[in-house]
Each structure stands twice: as structure tokens, then as C-alpha cells.
Structure 1
Amino acid sequence: MSYPTAAPSQGRAATSAQAATQARAAAPALAALPLPERALLLRGLSHALGENAAPLAAIAEDETRLGMERLRSEIRRTQAQLQMFADVIEAGAFLDVVIDPPDPSAQPAPRPDIRRMLVPLGPIAVFSASNFPFAFSVLGGDTASALAAGCPVVVKAHEGHPRLSDLAGELAAEILPAGVLTVVHGREEGRRLVTDPAIRAVGFTGSTSGGRALFDLANSRPDPIPFYGELGSLNPVVVTRAACRARGTDIVREYIASVALGQGQFCTKPGLLFLPADHALHARLRQEITAVPPAPLLGLWISAAYHATLEQLATHPAVRPLHLTHKPDDPRTSTPALLTTSAKSLRTHPELLRECFGPASLIVTYTATEDLLETLQALPAGLTATVHGQEPEDEALAQRLTATMQAGRLIWNGWPTGVAVTAAMHHGGPWPATTSPLHTSVGNRAIGRWMRPVAYQNMPEGLLPAPLRRANPWNVPQQVVGSRPIPDGKI
């Protein structure tokens, strides 16, 4: 099946309705495209990013002030994501083909021929993130995984990098068939996109409040659709007494580096650090945080929210500032901050369990293991949870801690910032970290969000999709199930 090639001007649609209509028209051909050709499209996007890295990074730096080194690295990561999903497409296992041959002698009744596979949902809406203008934006992980699944994508560009979004959309339009990827702008167009009948699922990375509003909108439709929101997280880090004694100064240095990475504008920033009450690391903490220079945040809206949340936390009667400076004259600039409270106070005042998106973190002191465990049980679920301990003396304690922590990724003697793009990665978690704890937004299993299973019973060969046919023209892995009885004839 062939497509007309899109012109660069088709990379951006005037309205969400136009974009959704174009995506719906493009969906059947994209779904039917042989896997090698689909993979070639993603490899073309990866190549285009590399070829245009210099102008893309320059525009991104002008709009985000994230720094050229960071932005070039993010372009390489985005290229790698596209290449990874091209590999996934070519391997074919993502289709999850299962074949149950017929069995006339099966009891209590003959079993028909049943063949099952995953098929694309259809047009997908993707909301770009402010803090990753490449990796979670127009050509980021949500887009790459949706295209890999065979779904056209309409991207709602983030207002923090509109020119970059348009350029990325134009580059994509030179490679992809018409209607397969379009970009729209504006919050109202984003809301309309979620309710457009052509859109079959939504991917979102952003604030808990914004994500919840769109999640509710997706569920209020006459035909509710999946909404995959990656939202906020406190990402608690627990330091055991043994680890504090053995390498407390190193842990403090690494902790501050993780908090300050990207000016704290990561969903995986460690927002809570649990230390023994007698840790004696106050001077070292102040020394490390004082060395972090003020820097601009992504936008005025983030800076305003950061300083407002920080002020509310810092002035709370149960909180003591460990390092806090005056609000800078430049409204976009942030200053790093450390606050401290006790585990008991955190349990007593759940209002302190708020994400402060920026270079600030709350140190929580605990007196005993039960004090720590009781507090961990009171925490909201998150994307990550970390334990710094010593082997072998902390193994039993670590088992109790990790059994208590609710998170999509558990980390031992490391830091949550930096999410590896691998097959085993799970970037998600129970609410309020995400709206769907079963799925990841990073790694090759992210493709599963944009597909649904279909079983074909006693279907003639000519009516079967190519991956289910006996000839297997796409040469995908087929799991053929042998005859096996089902107790009492029930499933």
C-alpha cells in the first residue's frame, strides 16, 4: 500500500479537528504497512534528527536555556529511541502472535482454530513535556512507540518550545506519509484533541493537576479512551544507619548532584531524603547545596510554581530551612534549597507531601526502623524509590523497606535521575505517579499502550492478517500452542 508524501507545510495543522481527521485517514495504510517499511520510517526520523542536530539544538537552547551539552545529549537519546523501536518493529515479537490450532477431540467440546495478535488502536494524541524538548516531545518516546505500533500521531506542542516543535514537525513531514504526524498548538486545541472522536488514546507527560484534568476529560467522552499520563513523583531515597556511617559524605554529594541535575526539573528528582536523626551531616549538606549556582528554569510558569510551593513548605511550622536564599530578581531564575523535617511530622502533616518541581528537596529524619517504615507506608506511590544500604548487614532491612515502598522502579545504592532506555525499564507507577500503573512510557514495552488484542476464530487464510497466516509472510514470531485440556471446560 502506498502513500502520497507529505509536504513540509503538512507538519502543522491549523486545528486539532483537522489534524485528527488527517490522522484517521492515514491510519489504515500505516497499520497495513509491512514491518520493514514501517521500521524504515523511524530510522529516517532518527537520521533527520542527527542531520539537523545543530539548528535544532540552537532553537531549543533559545527557548529552554537547558544548555547545549544537555540538548545535544537529548537529541542522541531521541535518535536512539527511534532506532530501538525500529528494531522492535523488525523483530515482530511486539505483535504477540498466539495460535491455538483446532482440536476436534478436545473435551468437553471440539476446539476451533483461534489466532490472536495485537493491532493498532488508531490515531494517538501526544502531549509534549516542557523539560524534555526532544525525548518527550514531537519525536520523543510516546510518538516513536505509537508510530512503531502503527498509529498516526497528533502532537500537542508544549508552549515552552513552540518553534522547536514546528521545526521537528516539518522534518517529520518530509519523511512520513501525509497525516501520520501533525503538530497543533494551544491548550484549548489540546482539550479538543482529547475529545475528538478520531483519537483513540492519549499520551501525556506533565503536572499532576494538568494530567488529571485531561484524564477526566478522556473518561467523560461518550466513548472513553485510554489516557496514559506520566505525572509527578516524590521519589523517596532512604539512607540506612550503616550506609550513613560508611559513606555519608559521598551520599550527600551524590544526592545534591541528583537534586540539582537540570535545575531539579526532572520527574525523577529525589524529593525526599530519609536520614537517621543523628546523621551529623548538616554542614556537608549546606556545603554541597551552597555550591549549586542559581540558574534559569524552563519558563516563568515553572518558576512561579516553584517559588510558591517552596515558600509554602519553608514556612510550614513543622519544617526548618537548612539552606534557603532570597528569591532572585530575575523571575525565571531559581535558587537551590534544602528543607528538613522529622518522619513523625511528615506523617502528621500530609500537606508536606508535595512535589516541588525545581532544585529543592526535603530531608526527613527518622529515629528508628519502625518510625521509618510507618512513614514510608504513608507516602503516595511514585515513579521511583531508592535505598542506600550496606551489604550484607542491611539485606534484611532492605527487604522490609522495598516491600513497603510503592513505586514503578526500585533502586539500590543509586539515584533515580537518569532513566535508561532499555527493554527491562519500567517508567511508571501507581497513582499519582501515573494514570495507568500497568504500562511504561520508557523502553520498548511502551509500544503496548497503543495496541489492543484481537482473536480470529476459524477465519479463512485469505481473511487473516499477514502475521497470523500459516505462510507467515511477515516472518514474525508465532507462538503455536499445543492441545491441552481445560479443567471442567472453563477458562
Structure 2
Amino acid sequence: MADGNVTPFRGHHLIAGEWVAGEGTFRSSPWTGEGLDFAVGSPALVDRAVQAAEAAFPAYSALPREARAQFLERIAEEIEARGPAITEIGHLETGLPAGRLDGERGRTMGQLRLFAQHIRKGDYLDRRHDAALPDRAPLPRPELRLMQMPIGPVAVFGASNFPLAFSVAGGDTASALAAGCPVVVKGHSAHPGTGEIVAQAILAAIEALDLPRGVFSLIQGGDRKTGEALVQHPLIRAVGFTGSLTGGRALFNLCANRPEPIPFFGELGSVNPMFVLPQALSARGAQIASGWAGSLTMGAGQFCTNPGIAVMLDGPEAEPFAQATVTALAAVQAQTMLTDGIAQAYREGSARVGGGQGVKALHVSEPSGRNATPFLYEVSGEHFLAQPELAHEVFGPLGLLVRARDEGEMLQVAEAMDGQLTVTVQMDGGDAGLARKLAPVLERKAGRLLANGFPTGVEVADAMVHGGPYPASTNFGATSVGTLSIRRWLRPVCFQNWPEELLPEDLKGI
């Protein structure tokens, strides 16, 4: 068990068990306090880390599932032992409240433990066996066995808005390690101190279980060339990314243009529209408005499932809904955003939406510095359909109310939506007919459909899907949350007439 002691900050990279300084440093920009110096990444360090990951792959991928499960559980224990230190530095770096960070740490440990339980069962391997049919006419059938196999070293990019759950030991890292793939993480410069402590926890688990040191590396900071070198390294077999559409699309293109293209599993953002149907609006419009405002402003609106757009039919019930939303938003205090750059982008996005043709401001505010305050605008369905840019994500607590003139226009709005992580439908019994019309459209638009709830808060579970059609993610058939996320780092291999003694252990006797 870990003793909870945290090594003083080195500000170095962790490469295959060694803390390594870079050729230069960058200074962190914490929400409060003095910044710390951290080593800058480089293509040379990327190569060193990836070479170590490739060297570790044969031994690590061949470990029994039980050994990998124990590794994941040990990482969770080591993170838990460092909990107070992680919360302290995470709060200083990001401005996120301690309660949020404690919850995110619990989620991180929970998904590590869930993945451990999942791989113990072995179902994720999708093992199949077709017995030989030597007497089949007109041709015999050979014996065929299939199993999902790990693909090799994986690159993971830490996310700005989740310093724990989507970063160094977050879902991408945990699922890749569960699959049997070594990981090289490109840390996010918004929270390098948090990343270093988590890396200490992973290293402690590696050392305690005497695993190959190259199974995990963390490269801090660095300019764009560092990330480009990571996704273009010929030994990297896949990439996990959570971030902006612009940055993610650039990396996606690099992966696609490699001499040997590799999959890029990018989660790139979403406006997560909410359709409020007439009966629900009439029966509980004020309640829905309050819940929408709470979901919209949760964590300063810095969740990828932030429900930025509400769609309803224009009419007498729409006005009270709008006013109830304004009342709820007016009570929200300024909140700290994760970085100065994110705060600036929020102000620019608010101005962009507010300047749209036919857009009316319902609630405006004056965010300054690194703070965010909420905005609410409304627009007709006609003007919304004529301006596709109104459907682009604004990362922060901004809401847009779209008033459709009738059911037909509401369906047009649904059909015009890009791919989404989530779509929510607020409906009561009398709304079943309209909901039935919307459902076939919405099923093609999102990875998760919600009824009478709000999308912020993504449960880590077997049935969860956190992904969707582009641009919500770059691979509509994958999820970055839940046990199905492990499948991203596997590929099916068929063994035909393969001798029993040469089969992978998990295929023997099947």
C-alpha cells in the first residue's frame, strides 16, 4: 500500500520509470499563487518514451488479465493515498473547487476499478470458436478461433477541463492499460502539477508490481511539435484525445496522413441540444428552466455535455420558460474558468452568438479576466436554420433558446444539427406523438439520448456511450467512457488451424 507521501515537484517528464528534465521549461499559470517551472517536451523525448512503450508491449500485453486488473486497482490505491495533495494542487492550478476535484478523483479511481472487474470477466475479448468440419461438402471448413488483441503503444492527450478523469490516469489511459497497451501521455499545460502527482501514483504501482517501466510515460508541456511528433511516431498505434474541434481535427488529419494511418479517437465538443415538447413545457416549464440553468452553468459551463441549446415551439408557454431561465441565471455568481485562454474564447463566443441575425439577448453579463458569467439568447427557428454558426459550441455557461414556429420546423432544426454527444427530450405523456417523430432523427445525431433529465454528469458504466457522430467525436462507433471504451485499443485476430499450444492463453480450451 502507498503511504501517501508525495515527492516534491521535480517539474520533469516521467519516461519509462525515470524523471527526465527537458532542454527548456515553461511556467504554469495557476488560478492563484506563483507558477512553477516544468520541463518542455520535445520530439526527442517523445521518441524515447514511445520506444520504451514498444519495448514493454510484448511482456505487458502477455500478462494474465488478473495481473493487469491488479495493476489498475493498485493505481487507484496510489491515487487515493495522494488525494489531499492532488486536490490542493488541482485547486491552485485550475480554480476548480475542492469538492469537484474530490468527486473527479473518485470517478477516476472508480473507473480504474470498474475496468479491472470488467477485464477479469473476459467478455471484452469477444472470443469465438468455429470447430473444423473436415467432412463438409463441397469443401471442408478449417478450425477458426477469434479473439480481440491489444494493438500496441497508445498516445493520450490530457484534457484541459478534466485534470483527473480525462487526463494522466483518466479514461483513455485506464482503458488502454486494461486492454494491454502501454501508454504515452501528453500532459496538458493547464495542470502540470496535478499530472505529475498522478504520474507518481502510476509509477508507484508499476514499481510495486514490478511491471515493465515503459508501460507508462508522461511528457509535460511542449509546443505543437511535441504533440505532432507523438501522433506521427510510427510505433504509436492509436490516439485518444479530448479537446477542441480545431486542435483535434489537426491531429486527426496527421493520423490519417501518416504512411500507415492510425485511428484517432477524438472527443471534440458538442452543444447537446434539449428539445422541450409542448406538454412538458406546459406542465413543468419553470422546473425545466431551472434545471437547464443549473446544468448550463455547472462548473462554469466547462463540461463537454453542457446543454447549450434549448428548442421549443413558439407560443404562450415559451415566454414564461425564458423568464424563469433568466431568473435562475441572474442568481449565478461569476465562476473561475480553467485558463485565461478559455475565458477569452468564451467572451469571443458570446459576442459571436449575440451578434447573429435575429438573435435577441435575454440575459447579458460582463465576464472579466478568468471569470465567466452566464449569457442567454433567443432566436427563431427560421433564423437559426439560416445561420449554421449558431449551432457551434461556446465553451462556457451560454444558452441559446430556439423558438420553432411549429412541429415541422422543430424537426427541421433537429435534422440540421451536427453530430452530438447527447440529445435530451423533455416530454410528458401527451408528447409521445411528437417524440416518436423526433426519435429517428435524434438517434442518428447523438451517442446518448436522454428523456426528462440533463446531460451533465456521465455515468461510468457498461452501457454508457460518450461519443457520437462527427464533430462530437471522430469515430461514431466508439465511446471514451464506460467499459466499451476498452474496445478502442483492441483488434480482432483469427487463428486458423493454429496449434493449441501456440494459442494465446485466453483462447486455449475455447
Query: Are 2:248 and 1:238 aligned?
Result: no
Partner AA of 1:99 in structure 2:
H
Whether the 8 Å CA contact 1:9–1:170 is kept in 2: the answer is no
Deviations 1:54-77 (A, max 9, x none): 001111111111100000000000
The equivalent position to 1:458 in structure 2, one of 492, 497, 503, is 497
The equivalent position to 1:201 in structure 2, one of 238, 253, 265, is 238
Residue aligning to 2:289: 252
Residue aligning to 1:136: 166
Query: Are 2:309 and 1:272 aligned?
Result: yes
Deviations 1:409-444 (A, max 9, x none): 111001111111110111111111110000111000
Query: Are 2:159 and 1:124 aligned?
Result: no
Whether the 8 Å CA contact 2:16–2:52 is kept in 1: the answer is no
Q: CA deviation at 1:6?
A: 6.5
SS at match of 2:214: coil
Partner AA of 1:263 in structure 2:
A
Aligned length: 464
Whether the 8 Å CA contact 1:8–1:170 is kept in 2: the answer is no
Deviations 1:235-257 (A, max 9, x none): 11011111111000000000000
Give the Cα separation in 1 of the matches to 2:247 and 2:86: 27
Query: Are 2:265 and 1:225 aligned?
Result: no
Change (3 A) 1:31 1:10: farther
Residue aligning to 1:107: 137
Residue aligning to 2:5: none
Give the Cα separation in 1 of the matches to 2:432 and 2:325: 27
Residue aligning to 1:63: 93
* TM-score under structure 1 length normalisation: 0.92
Q: How does 1:6-85 map to 2 (within 5 A)?
A: 7=17, 9=19, 15-85=45-115
Give the Cα separation in 1 of the matches to 2:380 and 2:136: 64
Residue aligning to 2:474: 435
Give the Cα separation in 2 of the matches to 1:29 and 1:268: 38
Deviations 1:204-260 (A, max 9, x none): 001111110000000111010010001111111011111111000000000000000
Q: CA deviation at 1:8?
A: 6.1
Whether the 8 Å CA contact 1:339–1:363 is kept in 2: the answer is yes
The equivalent position to 1:181 in structure 2, one of 206, 209, 216, is 216
Runs of at least 5 residues in structure 2 that lack an aligned partner in the other structure: 1-14, 22-38
Whether the 8 Å CA contact 2:158–2:168 is kept in 1: the answer is yes
Query: Are 2:148 and 1:148 aligned?
Result: no
Give the Cα separation in 2 of the matches to 1:234 and 1:286: 19
Q: How does 1:347-386 map to 2 (within 5 A)?
A: 347-386=385-424
Give the Cα separation in 2 of the matches to 1:363 and 1:189: 41
Residue aligning to 2:459: 420
Give the Cα separation in 2 of the matches to 1:326 and 1:443: 38
SS at match of 1:308: helix
Q: CA deviation at 1:454?
A: 0.7
The equivalent position to 1:90 in structure 2, one of 106, 120, 134, is 120
Whether the 8 Å CA contact 1:8–1:171 is kept in 2: the answer is no
SS at match of 1:179: helix
SS at match of 1:168: helix
Deviations 1:158-195 (A, max 9, x none): 11101111121122112123011111122321110000
Give the Cα separation in 2 of the matches to 1:234 and 1:376: 12
Give the Cα separation in 1 of the matches to 2:367 and 2:291: 25
Give the Cα separation in 1 of the matches to 2:390 and 2:153: 40
Q: CA deviation at 1:298?
A: 0.3
Whether the 8 Å CA contact 2:168–2:198 is kept in 1: the answer is yes
Partner AA of 1:180 in structure 2:
V
Give the Cα separation in 2 of the matches to 1:275 and 1:373: 11
Structure having greater relative contact order (Cα 8 Å, sep ≥ 6)? 1
SS at match of 1:401: helix
Q: CA deviation at 1:40?
A: 0.5
Give the Cα separation in 1 of the matches to 2:333 and 2:319: 24
* TM-score under structure 2 length normalisation: 0.89
Residue aligning to 1:165: 195
Give the Cα separation in 1 of the matches to 2:54 and 2:348: 42
Whether the 8 Å CA contact 2:313–2:407 is kept in 1: the answer is no
Instruction: Name the % identity.
Output: 42
SS at match of 1:238: strand
SS at match of 2:448: strand
Whether the 8 Å CA contact 2:17–2:214 is kept in 1: the answer is no
SS at match of 1:440: coil
Q: CA deviation at 1:467?
A: 1.3
Give the Cα separation in 1 of the matches to 2:101 and 2:492: 38
Instruction: Please report the RMSD computed on the Cα atoms of aligned residues, expressed in angstroms.
Output: 1.5
SS at match of 1:225: coil
Q: CA deviation at 1:10?
A: 7.2
Query: Are 2:323 and 1:283 aligned?
Result: yes
Give the Cα separation in 2 of the matches to 1:47 and 1:451: 26
Give the Cα separation in 2 of the matches to 1:367 and 1:7: 62
Whether the 8 Å CA contact 1:154–1:184 is kept in 2: the answer is yes
Give the Cα separation in 1 of the matches to 2:434 and 2:400: 23
Q: CA deviation at 1:7?
A: 4.4
SS at match of 2:329: helix
